[in-house]
Chain A
Amino acid sequence: MTGGGPAHGPELTAKAAAGEVPQSAGAAGSVASTGTPVIEGTPSFWAKFSKSSPLVALILQRLALSVALLFAVSLMIFGGVEALPGDFATTYLGQSATPQAVENIRKDLGLDQPATTRYFKWLGGAIQGDFGNSWASKNSVSEQIGKRLGNSLFLAFFAAIISVPLAVGLGMLAVQYRNRLPDKIINVISLAAISLPEFFVGYLLILFFAVQLGIATFPATVYDSMTIGQRLSAIALPTATLVLVVLAHMMRMTRAAILNVMSSAYVETAELKGLSSLRIIAKHAAPNAVAPVINVIALNLAYLVVGVVVVEVVFVYPGMGQYMVDAVTVRDMPVVQACGLIFAAFYIFLNMFADILAIVANPRLRHPR
């Protein structure tokens, strides 16, 4: 029963629903401050609630799970960074690292305090959107990340609005012409695109469009002073690379999910109503194939934000990925931690939204008996 798992969390979910969640990174705190809320003794309320409005109950459950997960991830990021070999002070000082100088720097950065104190201090700040100051540049991490994140999202947004409709449309087209020439062409091209590493696709695009034809901008670096048109022209190639990389996965999943539904009895009913095959696919098959497709789309959207490190480096694009790679090389821990947490938040919440959308797409849950 659905009531079994979440039976111990009405308090937690009520809080999660109260509005802490939308600020993705900050949400981790609601759990930290309430501790691990295992509240026994009220399962009957939750059981009743999940029966009367299963949709709301399931969504609350997903929200609570996401927040709990994010909290766990924050622990792992902090723990992982703690366990890393090497030390900022020694790296920073280089040759002049006398024990006294190292000690001073550690004291300045607060590294002499116990790990638990530093963790809660960091988490408390993170909830309010303050990730501390970068050790290397002494600037506020939040400020620097803000701009970088904007750039990353800008790129991901354009890659997404091109790739998602294209993938779903091509998937439907492949079903319409299944096992015929258009299907095979779509399949081969998408397979080729998914098989080539993204840096290779990137360099190929640069070679053709920037070097030989000279119609595209390279490098794709964007500046504050650029107009929106200049920005769009700058990100054309990285966007194309990303679209090629994520397209095949979503397209193939759409095709498989719809094909799976196409063998069901209600599709036969639609056929026997004399409907056109395009209407059958779009109206009768697709709505029932939504859940698996949404999940793959969410994974790929998350990839567009989180996994673009290589593409950003290839195109010299000032996004989050590049920022994190730079920070790792100089052991600038506040930056690494902040990037890690934000990436994790994107991943978790995109998947959560996919789950919730899939739940909402299910008429059995949307319209209980």
Chain B
Amino acid sequence: MPDLLSVKNLKIEATSYPPGEPPRTVTLVEGVSFDVEKGKVLGLIGESGAGKSTIGLTALAYGRGGVRITGGEVKLNGEDILKLSPAGIRKVRGCKVCYVAQSAAAAFNPAHRLGEQVIEASLKHGIMSRADAEKRALYLFKVLGLPNPETFGQRYPHQVSGGQLQRAMTAMALCPNPELIVFDEPTTALDVTTQIDVLAAIKHAIEETHTAALYITHDLAVVAQITDDILVLRHGKMVEYGSVKQIIEAPTQDYTRALVNVRGTKRDEAPDQSDTLLKVDNITAGYSNGFKVLQNVSLHLPKGQTLAVVGESGSGKSTLARVITGLLPPQEGTISFDGKPLPRALKGRSNDELRRIQMIYQMADTAMNPRQTVRDIVGRPLTFYYGMRGQQKTERVKELLEQIEMGGRFADRYPAELSGGQKQRVAIARALAAQPELILCDEPTSALDPLVAEGILKLLLKLQDETHVSYMFITHDIAIVRAIADSVAVMHRGKLVRFGPKSKVLSPPFDDYTDLLLKSVPEMEIGWLEKVLTTRRMESAGN
């Protein structure tokens, strides 16, 4: 059977403009070759910077920003689309090859109705009449399991949820009946419980329409559910290329093996014996519009231990952290720290009370001043809480940078000159500088690649052993909970659903929500998705 898409020896370059240096050409992708047969799905996997999206977009002959495709060939049905005129390329895009972006929320035009956007490409390429396109959109909305498919197209992007938008984006890609769809991390921005629905919908739609696909993701467990073949990429080069079965069950390269085993870290919980450090008692909090984000939440955290707070977006977990820091004074309830009640608002707290609770954010990028060096960023709490200056401060910054396994040579760098993992490490050093007793970690690893994230988790555990600091670790990832927590709090819609030692919370009997949450986490196992969906169908049939 002839290949639908055949990529040979691809080379992609871009011009980078480092500050204070002449511009130079960097090679993003080199020597990449792969084939996609009709109706088959190829997974492109790798960490950020591996060139996955860049390669995926070459199937549409598109280079994002200043990216240029400088070598190789991309043949679609035997025709090299890189050699086409701009008008010829336009006939490929949105007609033969369609694209599903990572963030559907940003990729839909806020000014137009969803239905119009879904059928636009079909109409503009003259593939079908308006009536047929609308009929097809309706069919796709049904296949993708969107609510009220008849009226769904009338709505604007801001009127539907993230999971629904992602499915609408898939409908938009499927509408012109393309031969190939490029899925660029279509479920990464979603909650696990939503991700499984979208995954199932995409898989179903691909099977139903016999469309071939390139599926880009950094999550091997996800790609194992949906693709036939996998291409593992690193630094723009091919690492391993084979069938799903071979990659998951018998990887030949070290890097692939590391990816397969990434969720291996596990830790046994410590017994809940030591003194209570943080006690949150019956907290209710909300914003000025009267909506209560947290309702009657009570939990506690012993000294030197880790409490994981799990839940999907909107469950109130970050708000809980804001309440504990005093950024959002609670409407009801009390918080006590080390046996003493904490003043409700940030303003009422003493410097020492502030010092003892520090915070690490999800986006290290936005949590650091881009115009300050690492020395200034880490040194600020040293001056603020301990009055350190000059030589003493320099020494201590160096010590802290050693502690986070980076070393003093990073002291004069700016955040922009650090990688994502390094930035998060600097953020950890800044929190450590205050010598806190509690660090609130708000999804510190969810924006990072799996291997980098694992390094951060290991670092956090090592620091806990050294300094006996307590963590309240906010996450939506059950694997992380297994890896680091002593006790677990499960939150859903502002309420505490389940709280206790890890072994108890994560073992049956479950409440409905915890059950759903645990079952939604993709496992590195071929056929896991079908199994879960079958169980679900049987359960609903049983009811």
The chain A residues found within 8 Å of chain B, CB to CB, are 1, 3-4, 47, 51, 264-266, 268-276, 279, 283-284, 287-288, 361, 363-364, 367, 369
Q: Which residues of B contact A287 (CB under 8 A)?
A: 109, 111-112
Contact of B62 among A272, A363, A369 (CB under 8 A): A272
A126 CB to closest chain B CB, in angstroms?
A: 40
What is the bound-complex CA distance between A4 and B288, given in angstroms?
9
In the complex with contacts A274-B95, A275-B120, A266-B159 CB distance below 8 A? no
A266 touches B95 (CB 8 A): no
Q: Which residues of A contact B289 (CB under 8 A)?
A: 1, 3, 47, 51
Q: Which residues of A contact B107 (CB under 8 A)?
A: 265-266, 268-269
A274 touches B120 (CB 8 A): no
What is the bound-complex CA distance between A273 and B172, given in angstroms?
10
B110 touches A272 (CB 8 A): no
B101 touches A271 (CB 8 A): no
What is the bound-complex CA distance between A268 and B64, given in angstroms?
9
B90 touches A276 (CB 8 A): yes
Q: Which residues of B contact A3 (CB under 8 A)?
A: 289
A274 touches B109 (CB 8 A): no
Q: Which residues of B contact A363 (CB under 8 A)?
A: 110-111, 156, 158
B window 77-119: CB within 8 A of A: 89-95, 98-99, 101, 103, 106-112
B403 CB to closest chain A CB, in angstroms?
A: 39
Contact of A369 among B92, B101, B125, B159 (CB under 8 A): B159
B60 within 8 A of A: yes
B124 within 8 A of A: yes
A271 touches B159 (CB 8 A): no
B404 within 8 A of A: no
B window 38-61: CB within 8 A of A: 57, 60
B159 touches A274 (CB 8 A): no
B213 within 8 A of A: no
Name the CB-closest residue of A to B108: A266
For the complex of A and B, list the 5 residue pairs with the smallest distance between their C-beta atoms, beginning with the closest: A274-B93, A273-B94, A265-B106, A287-B111, A274-B94
A367 touches B109 (CB 8 A): no
Q: Which residues of A contact B374 (CB under 8 A)?
A: none
B226 within 8 A of A: no
In the complex with contacts A273-B94, A274-B95, A288-B111 CB distance below 8 A? yes
A233 CB to closest chain B CB, in angstroms?
A: 42
In the complex with contacts A271-B93, A273-B121, A274-B124, A266-B62 CB distance below 8 A? no
A274 touches B110 (CB 8 A): no
A272 touches B111 (CB 8 A): no
B101 touches A269 (CB 8 A): yes
A362 CB to closest chain B CB, in angstroms?
A: 8
In the complex with contacts A265-B101, A265-B106, A363-B111, A274-B121 CB distance below 8 A? yes
B99 touches A269 (CB 8 A): yes
Q: Which residues of B contact A264 (CB under 8 A)?
A: 106
B60 touches A364 (CB 8 A): no
Q: Which residues of B contact A273 (CB under 8 A)?
A: 93-94, 98, 120-121, 124
A279 CB to closest chain B CB, in angstroms?
A: 7
Contact of A272 among B93, B124, B159 (CB under 8 A): B93
Q: Which residues of B contact A1 (CB under 8 A)?
A: 288-289
B533 CB to closest chain A CB, in angstroms?
A: 30
Q: 23 A-B pairs, CB-CB below 8 angstroms?
A: A1-B288, A1-B289, A47-B289, A51-B289, A265-B103, A269-B99, A269-B101, A273-B94, A274-B90, A274-B92, A274-B94, A274-B121, A274-B125, A283-B112, A284-B109, A284-B112, A287-B109, A361-B111, A363-B110, A364-B110, A367-B155, A367-B159, A369-B159
Number of interface residues of B (CB under 8 A): 32
A275 CB to closest chain B CB, in angstroms?
A: 6
In the complex with contacts A273-B124, A367-B159, A266-B110 CB distance below 8 A? yes
What is the bound-complex CA distance between A43 and B125, given in angstroms?
53
What is the bound-complex CA distance between A56 and B467, given in angstroms?
57
Q: Which residues of A contact B101 (CB under 8 A)?
A: 265, 268-269
What is the bound-complex CA distance between A93 and B293, given in angstroms?
75
In the complex with contacts A1-B289, A367-B159, A272-B99 CB distance below 8 A? yes
B158 touches A266 (CB 8 A): no
Q: Which residues of A contact B103 (CB under 8 A)?
A: 265
Q: Which residues of B contact A361 (CB under 8 A)?
A: 111
What is the bound-complex CA distance between A243 and B64, given in angstroms?
39
A288 touches B98 (CB 8 A): no
Q: Which residues of A contact B94 (CB under 8 A)?
A: 272-275
A367 touches B106 (CB 8 A): no
Q: Which residues of A contact B57 (CB under 8 A)?
A: 272
Select the residue from A47, A272, A276, A361 with max chain B CB neighbours within 10 A.
A272
A159 CB to closest chain B CB, in angstroms?
A: 29
B516 CB to closest chain A CB, in angstroms?
A: 25
Q: Which residues of A contact B125 (CB under 8 A)?
A: 274
Select the residue from B94, B99, B111, B120 with max chain A CB neighbours within 10 A.
B111
Q: Which residues of A contact B120 (CB under 8 A)?
A: 273, 275
Name the CB-closest residue of B to A369: B159
Name the CB-closest residue of A to B289: A1
What is the bound-complex CA distance between A318 and B175, given in angstroms?
61
Name the CB-closest residue of B to A286: B111
What is the bound-complex CA distance between A283 and B111, given in angstroms?
9
Q: Which residues of B contact A271 (CB under 8 A)?
A: 62, 93
Q: Which residues of A contact B111 (CB under 8 A)?
A: 284, 287-288, 361, 363
A275 touches B60 (CB 8 A): no
In the complex with contacts A274-B91, A363-B156, A363-B158, A269-B124 CB distance below 8 A? no
B149 CB to closest chain A CB, in angstroms?
A: 19
B window 261-316: CB within 8 A of A: 288-289
What is the bound-complex CA distance between A369 and B362, given in angstroms?
28
Q: Which residues of B contact A288 (CB under 8 A)?
A: 109-111
B window 157-171: CB within 8 A of A: 158-159
Q: Which residues of A contact B121 (CB under 8 A)?
A: 273-275
B181 CB to closest chain A CB, in angstroms?
A: 11
A52 CB to closest chain B CB, in angstroms?
A: 13
What is the bound-complex CA distance between A266 and B172, given in angstroms?
13
What is the bound-complex CA distance between A52 and B110, given in angstroms?
21
In the complex with contacts A269-B101, A269-B107, A270-B109, A369-B158 CB distance below 8 A? yes
Q: Which residues of B contact A270 (CB under 8 A)?
A: 109
What is the bound-complex CA distance between A268 and B67, given in angstroms?
14
Q: Which residues of A contact B62 (CB under 8 A)?
A: 271-272
A278 CB to closest chain B CB, in angstroms?
A: 12
What is the bound-complex CA distance between A271 and B155, given in angstroms?
22
Q: Which residues of B contact A272 (CB under 8 A)?
A: 57, 60, 62, 93-94, 98-99
What is the bound-complex CA distance between A361 and B112, given in angstroms?
11
Q: Which residues of A contact B288 (CB under 8 A)?
A: 1, 4
What is the bound-complex CA distance between A265 and B112, given in angstroms?
14
A44 CB to closest chain B CB, in angstroms?
A: 10
B89 touches A274 (CB 8 A): yes
Q: Which residues of B contact A266 (CB under 8 A)?
A: 106-110
B379 CB to closest chain A CB, in angstroms?
A: 36
Q: Which residues of A contact B93 (CB under 8 A)?
A: 271-274
A280 CB to closest chain B CB, in angstroms?
A: 10
